Amino acid sequence: MSGANSNNKKFQPYIPADKVLPELTGTSLIIGVLLAVVFGGANAYLGLKVGMTISASIPAAVISMGIIRGILKRDSILENNIVQTIGSSGESLAAGAIFTLPALYIWMAEWDLGTPSLVTIAILSLMGGILGALFMIPLRKALIVNEHETLPYPEGTACAEVLLAGEEGGEKARTTFMGVGMGAAYKFITDGFRLFPSTIETTIPGYKGAALGADILPALLGVGYIIGPKISAYMLSGAAIGWFAIIPLILYIGSGGEVLLYPADVPISQLDHWGIWDNYIRYIGAGAVAFGGVFSLVKAIPLIVRTFRDAIGSYAGKRDDREKAVRTDQDISFRILIIGSLAIILAIAMLPAIPVGIFGAVLIAVFGFFFATVSSRIVGLVGSSSNPVSGMTIATLIITAVLFKATGNDGRAGMIGTLSVGAVICIIAALAGDMSQDLKTGFLVGATPRLQQYGELIGAVVSALAIGGVMTLLNNAWGFGSSELPAPQATLMRLVIEGVMGGNLPWTLVLIGAGIGLAVELLGLPVLPVAIGLYLPLHLSVTVMAGGLIRGFLDRRYKISKEDDAVKRQIDSGILYSSGLIAGEGLIGILLAVFAVWGVNTDLGLNIGQLGGLIVFALLAFTLLGQSLYKHKRKEMRL
């Protein structure tokens, strides 16, 4: 740790601490709030449709540069940074809301109680959003500053590179926006025009239940390149355990008879590999993630205690000393942090719109800070797109439901109370993870943390007020749980709560996951990346691994060392191009989500699969995408 601190003392951000530029201005505030609402609404639809949301930090940064630098001719990288900070909060809050709250809509429809009020949804979202931001603030120095050399924060670093490319222009800008163009074109061709699929899959002959697949998308390739081969391999190893060992094992055991195991409602022999993953592997993965989270928290306790001690100590001195703090090291007042957190927790305990009582409010405070810490550390390792927020929420729901049932708070009231606790926790974890990426971006470019934290709070408040209307609109249009809006995560949360309250939760599956996590820890490997790979579909980890392999091959071939300053400059070229790939897909993904809400059909009906060789063509397209990253990086190395 001392080495990391020594390196951080030498770190100089792009904008020095003694230089003051426009940052949280009226312009950045208005643009950021608009983007928060737009990204929140678009990602709500996308997440309810496919079970995933798109990180909005980089798209917001790109749009911000286009408006502030391109149209308004204003020259401040810190304004652009504030815009992406506020804008991305809408996406993260929407993710937490749509992963849980649709279950409330489904229940109320089943019980003939209409739909939840907009006030209820807004208050739940607001409480989670504010607490997520407040709980992350005391962790900034510990995770962002002190572990700068060990936690890469892929999206945060990529976003900083995009902002720097727009600031410096020249080759950096061309490199980044070449990636943006490539990522955008690829995404629109595959998921817009639908000329070939973005997901490919094949079964393995003679090995029933085993399948190999990949989501061949530019953002995943870029994330893999940024996080590198080692962490990518940890993720893939977790996925391999699930898809090449556990799924075939379950199918083998259940193939000889009518074995019915909850939560599936049909015998195992009637399920395919996706059915096994959906009904069983996600519970096992949730158990592994829960173990990894607990173990991570235990290991982080000294760091957390030291963080709080340092924070309290910094406010125990004279006021004049606090006011002399370096601009790039100023956080929101610790007094505001404590008073604000206590006020929100008290409101949760008292407001009738959140039927959890004092006991539920205490659970939210404990689990909220726990998972804010875990989420912030996870995204530092593997990025926001692989942050298993739903896994953390499942663990919270299981514990909360057990405690509520044990105290007599069961039935419909207990189910709604449990979901309310889970919804607030889910939003806390999602927002804390996003905020840590934003603060990493600010750390690299030289932003004022205090202003970023205010921006995150503003974005969370605005998004919370808007998300209820968006969800109600979508529910009225198609209904949650329908083929148009399956709401996969929320459906799983509903099953977990009903399973615990009904006494039929598959605890064995959860404990199996915890056992796998323990085995990984005993082998001396990091639990969380492996657990994340087990929890997520194999298709994500395969593509991330492809990006990691490209990075590893180039690093070995050109013998890159951190001591070589000339090579350091060239390493950035690969990260820049990868950042562009992430930004390009993010922008088009959000655009396609808006088109879907508006009913605009971009499918040209020219599916190449009709001509044969669909998977081969898709693989060829993805190979060319990977080759563009490889060749671009190789060209830069030879300069």
- 211 token code pair: 């399948």
Q: Report the candidate in 383, 372, 398 with the shortest Cα–Cα distance to residue 533.
A: 383
Encode pLDDT of 507-518 as tens digits.
Answer: 889 899 999 999
Greater confidence, 540 or 593? 540
Q: Report the candidate in 131, 45, 90, 554 with the shortest Cα–Cα distance to residue 373.
A: 131
Contact indicator for 359, 407 with CB cutoff of 8 Å: yes
Measured N-to-C along each axis, helices 77-98 and 449-477 cross at an angle, to the nearest 10 degrees, of: 40
Write the DSSP symbol of residue 604. -
CB environment 6-36: b (16+ within 10 A), e (fewer): eeeeeeeebbeeeeeebbbbebbbebbbbbb
Q: Taking residues 183-193, report their average pLDDT.
A: 89
Encode pLDDT of 384-402 as tens digits.
Answer: 766 778 778 888 898 999 9
- Write down the H helix ranges in 446-487: 449-477
The whole-number pLDDT of residue 309 equals 66
- Write down the H helix ranges in 11-101: 26-50, 57-64, 77-98
Q: Which residues contact 181 (CB under 8 A, 6 or more apart)?
A: 580, 584
**Highest mean pLDDT of the ranges 261-265, 338-342, 562-566:** 338-342
| Exposure of 422 in the CB half-sphere (CA atoms within 13 A) | 35
Dihedral of the alpha carbons of 25, 28, 34, 40, in degrees to the nearest 10: -110
pLDDT at 204 exceeding the cut of 50: yes
| Helix (H), strand (E), coil (C) string for 159-214 | HHHHHHHHHHCHHHHHHHHHHHHHHHHHHHHHHHCCCCCCEEEEECCCCCCCEEEE
Q: Report the candidate in 394, 356, 355 with the shortest Cα–Cα distance to residue 500.
A: 394
- Min mean pLDDT across 73-87, 307-321, 365-379 is at 307-321
The whole-number pLDDT of residue 439 equals 96
Pairwise CA distance, residues 482 & 51, whole Å: 13
pLDDT at 443 exceeding the cut of 80: yes
Name the burial class of residue 324, with classes exposed (0-12), middle (13-18) and buried (19+) by CB atoms within 10 angstroms of its CB. exposed
Residue 262: pLDDT band (50, 70, 90) is: confident
Q: What are phi and psi of 564, to 5 degrees?
A: -90, 100
- 9 token code pair: 């003392």
Question: Mean pLDDT score of the chain, rounded to an integer?
Answer: 83
From the CB of residue 563, how many other CB atoms can be counted at a distance below 10 Å? 7
**Highest mean pLDDT of the ranges 70-74, 232-236, 321-325, 491-495:** 232-236
The whole-number pLDDT of residue 583 equals 75
pLDDT at 325 exceeding the cut of 80: no
